[in-house]
A and B are shown apart, each in its own frame.
Chain A
Amino acid sequence: MSGRAAARTLWESARPQGDVRRRNASAWLPHVTELKRDMRRFADSDEVDMVVVGCGAGGATFTQRLAHAGWKVVCLEAGPFWDPQKDWVSDEWGSHHLYWNEPRVVGGSHPVPMGSNNSGRGVGGSMVHFAGFAPRLHPSDFRVRSGDGVAADWPLSYAQLRPYYQRLERELPVAGQYWPWGDPHPYPHPPHPVSGNGEVMLDGCAKLGIEARVGPVAIANGRFGNRPHCIYRGFCLQGCKVDAKASPLITHVPDAIAHGAEIRADAMVTRIETDREGRRVTGVRYVRGGREYVQRAAAVAVAGYSIETPRLLLNSTSRRFPDGLCNDHDLVGRYVMVQGAPQTAGRFAEEIRMYKAPPPEVSTEEFYETDPAKPYVRGFSVQTVSPLPIMWAEHVAEQGHWGPDLRKRMTDYTHWATLGALCEFLPQAENRVTLAEETDRHGLPVARFDHSQCANDGQLMEASRKVMEEILRAAGATELMTVERYAHLVGGCRMGRTAEEGVVDADLRSFAVPNLFITDGSVLPTQGSANPALTIMALADRAACRLAGKEPR
Chain B
Amino acid sequence: MGRMRAWPGKGAGAVGRAGTWDPVTAGVVLARLGPRHEPALRFFTPREEAVAEALLDHVLARSPDDPPVPVLTVIDDRLATGEYDGWHFADLPQDAEAWRRSLAGLDEDARLRHDGRGFPESGYGERDRLLRHVLQLGSGDWYGMPAGHVWKLWTRYACEAYYAHPHAWDEIGFGGPAYPRGYLRLGRGLREPWEEPR
A210 is an interface residue with CB less than 8 A from chain B = no
Q: Is B156 a contact of A89 with CB atoms below 8 Å?
A: no
Q: Which residues of B contact A350 (CB under 8 A)?
A: 188-189
Q: Is B178 a contact of A90 with CB atoms below 8 Å?
A: yes
Answer whether A89 and B84 are a contact pair too, CB < 8 Å, given A350-B188, A413-B174: no
B39 is an interface residue with CB less than 8 A from chain A = no
Answer whether A233 and B90 are a contact pair too, CB < 8 Å, given A89-B177, A199-B188, A406-B61: no
The residue that B86 contacts in the complex, of A88, A101, A410, with Cβ under 8 A, is: A101
Q: Which residues of B contact A113 (CB under 8 A)?
A: 87, 89, 152
- The CA of A194 and the CA of B83, in the complex, are separated in Å by 36
The residue that B179 contacts in the complex, of A241, A410, A448, with Cβ under 8 A, is: A241
Answer whether A356 and B186 are a contact pair too, CB < 8 Å, given A106-B89, A414-B172: yes
Q: Is B88 a contact of A115 with CB atoms below 8 Å?
A: no
The residue that A196 contacts in the complex, of B180, B190, B197, with Cβ under 8 A, is: B190
- The contact size tier of chain B is 35 or more
Chain B stretch 141-198: residues in CB contact (< 8 A) with chain A: 152, 155-156, 159-160, 162-164, 168-169, 171-184, 186-191, 195, 197-198
Q: Is B182 a contact of A232 with CB atoms below 8 Å?
A: yes
Interface 9-residue window, one of B17-25, B46-54, B100-108, B109-117: B17-25
A397 is an interface residue with CB less than 8 A from chain B = yes
Q: Is A93 a contact of B164 with CB atoms below 8 Å?
A: yes
A193 is an interface residue with CB less than 8 A from chain B = yes
Residue of B nearest to A395 (CB): B159
B41 is an interface residue with CB less than 8 A from chain A = no
A394 is an interface residue with CB less than 8 A from chain B = yes
The residue that A393 contacts in the complex, of B3, B163, B179, B197, with Cβ under 8 A, is: B163
The residue that A389 contacts in the complex, of B5, B60, B169, B198, with Cβ under 8 A, is: B169
Q: Is B163 a contact of A389 with CB atoms below 8 Å?
A: yes
Q: Is B87 a contact of A411 with CB atoms below 8 Å?
A: no
Q: Is B135 a contact of A400 with CB atoms below 8 Å?
A: yes
A328 is an interface residue with CB less than 8 A from chain B = no
Residue of B nearest to A390 (CB): B163
- Of B1, B5, B162, B183, most A-chain CB atoms within 10 Å: B183
Q: Which residues of B contact A85 (CB under 8 A)?
A: 22, 24
Q: Which residues of A contact B175 (CB under 8 A)?
A: 353, 355-356
Q: Which residues of B contact A355 (CB under 8 A)?
A: 174-175
**Per-position binary interface string of chain A over residues 402-428, scored 1 when its CB falls under 8 Å from any chain B CB and 0 otherwise:** 111111101111110000000000000
**Per-position binary interface string of chain A over residues 86-97, scored 1 when its CB falls under 8 Å from any chain B CB and 0 otherwise:** 111111111010
B42 is an interface residue with CB less than 8 A from chain A = no
Residue of A nearest to B185 (CB): A356
B129 is an interface residue with CB less than 8 A from chain A = no
The residue that B186 contacts in the complex, of A88, A104, A193, with Cβ under 8 A, is: A193
Answer whether A194 and B186 are a contact pair too, CB < 8 Å, given A91-B29, A115-B85, A390-B164: yes
Q: Is A111 a contact of B89 with CB atoms below 8 Å?
A: yes
- Of B21, B83, B186, most A-chain CB atoms within 10 Å: B186
The residue that B4 contacts in the complex, of A86, A107, A411, with Cβ under 8 A, is: A411
Residue of B nearest to A121 (CB): B86
Q: Is B163 a contact of A90 with CB atoms below 8 Å?
A: no
Q: Which residues of B contact A199 (CB under 8 A)?
A: 187-188
Q: Which residues of B contact A88 (CB under 8 A)?
A: 24
- Of A107, A350, A403, most B-chain CB atoms within 10 Å: A403
- The CA of A175 and the CA of B94, in the complex, are separated in Å by 42
- Of B28, B159, B178, B183, most A-chain CB atoms within 10 Å: B159
- The CA of A407 and the CA of B87, in the complex, are separated in Å by 27
Q: Which residues of A contact B86 (CB under 8 A)?
A: 99-104, 114-115, 118
Q: Is B187 a contact of A195 with CB atoms below 8 Å?
A: yes
Q: Is A407 a contact of B25 with CB atoms below 8 Å?
A: no
Q: Which residues of A contact B28 (CB under 8 A)?
A: 89, 91, 94
Q: Which residues of B contact A241 (CB under 8 A)?
A: 22, 179
Chain A stretch 328-378: residues in CB contact (< 8 A) with chain B: 348, 350-353, 355-357
Q: Which residues of A contact B3 (CB under 8 A)?
A: 408
Q: Is B186 a contact of A90 with CB atoms below 8 Å?
A: no
B58 is an interface residue with CB less than 8 A from chain A = yes
Where the two chains meet, the residues of A that have a C-beta atom closer than 8 Å to any C-beta of B are 85-94, 96, 99-108, 111, 113-115, 118, 193-196, 199-200, 231-235, 241-242, 348, 350-353, 355-357, 388-390, 392-394, 397, 400, 402-408, 410-415, 438, 448, 450
Where the two chains meet, the residues of B that have a C-beta atom closer than 8 Å to any C-beta of A are 1, 3-5, 21-22, 24-25, 28-29, 58-61, 83-91, 94, 128, 131, 135, 152, 155-156, 159-160, 162-164, 168-169, 171-184, 186-191, 195, 197-198
Contacts A103-B88, A242-B179, A413-B174 supplied; 9 other A-B pairs, CB < 8 Å: A106-B87, A111-B89, A118-B86, A232-B182, A348-B188, A350-B189, A402-B131, A406-B61, A408-B4
